[in-house]
Structure 1
């Protein structure tokens, strides 16, 4: 009987700890999303559709995005941890938006094409990329 009680208490402790860990993960994700919105002025919830529409996923592997996963360009995970955007511009929210909207303006030799994405849409995509960690 005592062994069952110990097992029950241990199981409840594990469930509580697991629940706390999950809640902490959700809280941190929400904090990253809020910060990304504030930094870029974009809405990351609009970005997945935009990245499919403009073909981003055709060339890049994008964390948090269901659908195609290209290998032409670099994977777009952990953008916030990178020093440079496109290998040429300091990683700032404004530079990321500029890069997404018009990569040729920052590097004329870039293989990244002009997609026709607007600055407002680029802000949404930048917010999404910064929110993903």
Structure 2
């Protein structure tokens, strides 16, 4: 193979690698910014929220991105919940309302399908923080 062709192939491979690394860096930066913003909005912890989602078994009813066992179909999928206008079709989507909904869905809307799970206030803040990272 001529040296010029090896050079072109080498530069193409290098450019491809640079592109992949650039996209990965942007994704990581977006994730970090989403986490920081969600934690500031809610006063919760994203990692603790992810753990609480598992403890309260939210994935039995909901599909939740990033939670491996969360494959339920009884409730709505929670991808993109951070960008939705309303929670449960009626509450404006803000941290206080999301936390109230997580803690007391039957108080907010009696008779709806989501059961009260006895979610503690700290866990509700953490779960809300995790959910607010879900923009897609």
- In the alignment, structure 1 residue 118 sits paired with structure 2 residue 120: yes
Q: Is the 8 A contact 2:64 2:77 kept in 1?
A: yes
Residue in structure 1 matching 2:103, options 95, 101, 117: 101
Tell me the TM-score normalized by structure 2.
0.93
Q: Is the 8 A contact 2:65 2:78 kept in 1?
A: yes
Structure 2: give runs of 5+ residues left out of the alignment: none
Correspondence for 2:78: 76
Deviations 1:94-117 (A, max 9, x none): 110110011122211211000011
Distance in structure 1 (CA, Å) of the matches to 2:91 and 2:121 = 17
Runs of 4+, deviation exceeding 6 Å:
none
* Cα RMSD after superposing both structures: 1.0
Residue in structure 2 matching 1:36, options 35, 38, 61: 38
The change in CA–CA distance for 1:28 and 1:68 in structure 2 (over 3 A counts) is closer
Structure 1: give runs of 5+ residues left out of the alignment: none
Tell me the TM-score normalized by structure 1.
0.95
Q: Is the 8 A contact 1:88 1:107 kept in 2?
A: no
Distance in structure 1 (CA, Å) of the matches to 2:70 and 2:54 = 8
Q: Is the 8 A contact 1:37 1:127 kept in 2?
A: yes
The number of equivalent residue pairs is 133
Correspondence for 2:129: 127
Residue in structure 1 matching 2:54, options 41, 52, 58: 52
Residue in structure 2 matching 1:23, options 19, 25, 40: 25
- In the alignment, structure 1 residue 86 sits paired with structure 2 residue 88: yes
Deviations 1:47-69 (A, max 9, x none): 22211221211110110001241
